[in-house]
Structure formats: C-alpha cells, structure tokens
Structure 1
Amino acid sequence: MTISGKAKLAGVMGWPVGHSRSPRLHGYWLEQHGIDGAYVPLAVRPDDLAAALRALPKLGFRGCNLTVPHKEAALAVVDRVDAAARRIGAMNTVVVEADGTLSGSNTDAPGFIANLRQGAPGLDLAGKTAVVIGAGGAARAVVVGLIDAGVAGIRLANRSAERTQALVEAFAPVVGAVAWDARAQALAGADLLVNTTSLGMVGEPALDLPLDALPATATVTDIVYAPLETALLAAARARGNVAVDGLGMLLHQAVPGFAAWFGTTPTVTAELRAHVLGA
C-alpha cells in the first residue's frame, strides 16, 4: 500500500523497541482497511521521553503506544490521564488531541478481559474468586480489569512481599495477600488463575506452581505469549482446565489506540493472530 504525504502517523515508544510486535499488528490493520497511514517503532531513551512525547504533534503524529520502560514515567508528561491509567499507575496509549495536547490512557485492563472472554466463551467473572501470580505493572492492570468485571476476591501471590503489600493496600478489600510458599494451596476453590510474571517466558525459568488444588472447572491464563503455550498452560490443558494464552491481550489492548489514531475500529481475528505470530 502506498503511503502519501498526508498519511496518518502513529508508533510505539520503548527502549529498546526492536522486539515489539505492535508495528506488525497495526500494519496488518492498516493494510486490511486500506488506510493511508503508518505505525513505526520509536526507539526513545528514558531521558528523552518527555521531549519525544512533546514532539509528537509537531511531527504530525496522531499518537503512540508506550512500552517498557516508559509506561510509568509518561504519566507526568501528558496533559491528561484517564481513570484506569491512574488506578494502574501506568499508561500505554497516547492520543494527540485536535489542539495539540496529549491524552494518556491504559488499555491493558480491558484488553486482558476481552482476551479472557474470547478464549473462554461464556466465562462469567461476577462474584468469582481469582488467583493472581505477580505484583508488577501487568498485575496491577489485571487486578483493575478483574475488579471492574465484578470478581468477589483476588488472592495475590508474589515473590516480593513488599510489592504484594503495595498492591493489596491499593485495592483492598477485594485483593488479599497470599504468602509465596502458600501459592499452591491458594488455588483451592479458585475460578480463575492468572500468571502475570515473566516466569515461563522464553529465556526465563518456568513458573513453579503445582495445580493439584485447582478445580477442574477453573480457567487458567498466562499473559506470556512467547512461547504461546507456556508450561503452565500445557499443564492446565492436560488436566482439563480451559487455558487462554496471552497473545490476545496484546491484540485487544491495541484496538482503542488504532481507532483513535486512524479513525477505524479494527477486530481481533484468527487471521490477525496468525499474522502477528509470523513475526
């Protein structure tokens, strides 16, 4: 597809940013919808983040996504931040408004829930109990998504007790702490298990979590998508649990940004998944 001088521009800021699959993802939608536009990787050092964000309107960009390590720091740069990003303490999407100001949002929480519902059709989270492994930025987004979906309780287990406590204090009384050594026992009676850590990712150790106490009716999801089928998901499927991989969270969280920048609301399909995995 030919890009003209009037092309709509967006991108992803990170340091490094070469690993990001977002350009391939948004490029697919641009091609699919015949949009005169481009979505490019923007390698921005942490010290240059504020200047780079402020330069977006001057360069004709409609906005950008933010990835590691910029998600938290950007909160202090943009002109306005939505409620979800404030609750999560991080933002992943920036939109340049008509007047040149910058609006920040976080689409990870709804992206997580949308992926869960697509991968486990009919799943009703209202009044249910979830176990969340991890207490980092991704865990905060997952917790916000689960609370907004109506879960009754979240048992949070993380190797760092300090980070666990910070998250519990932010989202009590729905969230309660579970000692790391008691994580396997915490699965008893749970309706959902979520791994938000990097354990199980390519190059990382596997998540050490026996599933013996987890009910067969529980759904298991892992935000890791490299590999697509983590050891946790394989173990869950082997015992009959519904297992949902993490790629869909990446795909679904991208929808609102694309709609804001390019004026078309895209859909997450099996073809899109295959295309992004082909990177």
Structure 2
Amino acid sequence: MNLTARTKVAAVIGSPVGHSLSPVIHNAAFVAHGDDWVYGAFEVDPQRATAAIDAMRVLGIAGLSITMPHKELVMDALDEVHAEAQLVRAVNTVARSADGRLVGYNTDGVGCVDALIRAGADMSSVGVVGAGATARAIVAALARAGSRVAVANRSQDRRREAVAVGNTARSGSTIEVGVETLGECPTIVNATPLGMEGVAPGALPFDTSGLTSRHTVLDVVYHPLETPLLRAARLCGARVVDGLDMLCAQAARQQEVWLGRLPDVALLRQAALRELSQRQR
C-alpha cells in the first residue's frame, strides 16, 4: 500500500476500538481492488462523538464506520441521514457526498440479512433477541426482506419500539414475543452483548434446549468467535452463523456506500481470521 497526499482516509470511531477488526477487513478490500484508500481506528470519548464528525469535515476524511456507543450520538452532527438510519435511529456508516455533505447510513441490518442468506437460512420467520441500535437495524432489514419477525427483549418499552420499527419498514411484519417461544422461528438472531468476552462471557440469551437441525442461529457477537450460544446451538445440530460473518457482510456494504462496489466477503473474512490467529500467538 503506497500512501500519498492523494490517498483517501477512512476509519472507525468508537470506544473502545483497540480490539476492532475493521482496519484489517477494510484495508484488505482496498488492496484487493487497488483503491487508493487507507483505513484506521480512532478512540473517541462518547462525549466527543459530534466533535469527531466535525473533524471528519475539517480533515477531509472520506468515510467513517461508527461503532458503539456512538451510533446514535453522531446523528445530529451530520448533514443528512438516510431514511433507513433515521428509522432505526442509528448510524454505522458516514460517507462524504460529491458536494462535501456528510451523510449517515446504516449497514448493520442488510449485513445481517446478507450473512443469513449466504448461510442458507430459512428467512420465512426470524426471531430477534434484543432491541438496541443493532437489533433495530436487523429487525427493519428483515422486515424489508419479507421475513416475519418476532422480537424478544427484557425491556417491554424497548421491545415495543423495535416492533414499531419493523412494522414501519413493512406493515404487519413484526410482533413481540417472549424468549421461550423463539424456537418456533426457524432462524434466530442474538443482537445482545450476552456471551461477549469481558461483558457477559458465559451468558445465554435464550434457552437452547429446543434447537434442532432445522434451526439457524446467528450471533452478532464475534469476540469470542464461538460464543456460548453458538456452541450450544451447534451441539443441538443447528446451523450457526458467527458474528464475524455479519461484521464482514456489513463492512462490504459500507464499501458499497463509499466506493460503489461490493468486495468479496470471503476475502474479508480470511483477512480477519489471519489477524485473530496472530493475536492469539
């Protein structure tokens, strides 16, 4: 990679970002496609999230990935927010338009749908555990893709908000359910941090005892790569989709926003796995 004064810069902002695989994933795509872009990571205190958008504007940064807890915090600082990101009230991608305007998008939901389709999941009915920013994006994208969506979450208010998002995306598509009924859906997505190392490393978001080979389970958590949920689902014979698949799929969609083309998701995953292997040495 030959950096010059003309090289375009993109980066991820969030807190923390020291563990992020995004630089490895995006730089692999830039190199493969011969793009004169480079991608880094900036640790940004949540109280300075809007200042980071101002810095993007001043420094001419071409694109940003937004991770937690900044996805909602940056919205007011942007010149425009795409309709899907407005609906789910979360931005994970910022692009600079031809006239210099900063536009916010959300690729989390479509990335999840892409990962499930690639895995051969039954998309007719999908249960989603969680109701935060990532969950809302997934619910909206599933609804638009034609799935019947069932949302389970401990907080009734947030659960109803997520259901409203799904039904706005497609009327009558989304209902609220208890976690005990999730097994009725052939595909289940965990969009909570339960199972994440350092947060709730041993926790399961729902009882997996009813899972069978007819089920597909996706966990948005990718640290560890095999979460307790995926391990339990695999033992039940279910098809599993790890969080790295979704991370790479949504990153590919980010590149589509910035550069108008989709990189090979398999290439992105291979780059991420090599990085994870090196970190374990």
- Partner of residue 224 from structure 1, selected from 213, 221, 227: 221
Look up the equivalent residue of 1:271 and give its one-letter code.
Q
What is the CA–CA distance in structure 2 between the aligned matches of 1:163 and 1:102, rounded to whole Å? 29
Superposition pairs for residues 89-104 of structure 1, below 5 Å? 89-104=89-104
Task: Give yes or no for the alignment of 1:256 onto 2:253.
Answer: yes
User: Is the CA contact 2:27–2:38 (under 8 Å) kept in the aligned structure 1?
Assistant: yes
Provide the aligned C-alpha RMSD in A. 2.1
Query: How far apart are the structure 2 equivalents of 1:35 and 1:196?
Result: 33
Write the distance in 2 (CA, Å) between the matches of 1:44 and 1:212: 41
The answer (yes or no) to whether the contact 1:56–1:96 under 8 Å persists in 2 is: no
- 2:135 is the alignment partner of 1:139: yes
TM-score, normalised relative to structure 1: 0.88
Secondary structure of residue in 1 paired with 2:34: coil
> Take 2:122 and 2:24, find their aligned partners in 1: how far apart are those partners?
32
- SS, match of residue 265 in structure 2: coil
2: CA distance, partners of 1:101 / 1:157: 37
| Aligned position for 2:48 | 48
**Residue 171 (structure 1) aligns with:** 166
The 5 A counterparts of 1:54-93 are 54-93=54-93
Identity, in percent, stands at 40
The CA distance in 2 between the partners of 1:246 and 1:82, in whole Å, is 25
Q: Letter of the 2:76 partner, please give it.
A: A
Distance in 2 between the 1:194 and 1:82 partners?
Answer: 24
The SS at the match of 2:131 is coil
Give yes or no for contact 2:220–2:243 (8 Å, CA) kept in 1: yes
Determine the structure 2 residue equivalent to 1:275.
Answer: 274
Summarize deviations over 1:197-223 as a string: whole Å, max 9, x none: 111111314115333334531211111
2:59 aligned counterpart, secondary structure: coil
**Structure showing the higher helix proportion among its residues:** 2
Query: Which residue number corresponds to residue 263 of structure 2?
Result: 266
2:38 maps to 38
Residues 112, 276 of structure 1: CA spacing in aligned structure 2 closer, same or farther, 3 A cutoff? Answer: farther
- Residue pair 1:130, 1:151 contacting (<8 A) in 2 also: yes
Letter in 1 for 2:92: N
Q: Is the 8 A contact 1:131 1:192 kept in 2?
A: yes
Instruction: Give the match's secondary structure for 1:220.
Output: strand
- Residues 274 and 170 of structure 1: is their aligned pair in 2 closer, same or farther, counting only changes over 3 Å? closer
2:191 corresponds to 1:191: no
Query: How does the TM-score come out when normalised to structure 2?
Result: 0.87
- The alignment of Structure 1 onto Structure 2 pairs a total of residues equal to 270
**How far apart in 2 are the matches of 1:136 and 1:19?**
21
2:194–2:204 Cα contact (<8 Å) kept: yes
Checking the alignment, whether the CA contact within 8 Å between 2:8 and 2:62 is kept in structure 1 is yes
Say which SS state the counterpart of residue 26 (structure 1) adopts. Answer: helix
Residue number in structure 2 paired with 1:149: 145
Q: Which runs of 5+ in 1 are unaligned?
A: none
Equivalent position SS for 1:61: coil
2:24–2:272: 8 Å Cα contact kept in structure 1?
no
Secondary structure of the 2:90 match is: coil
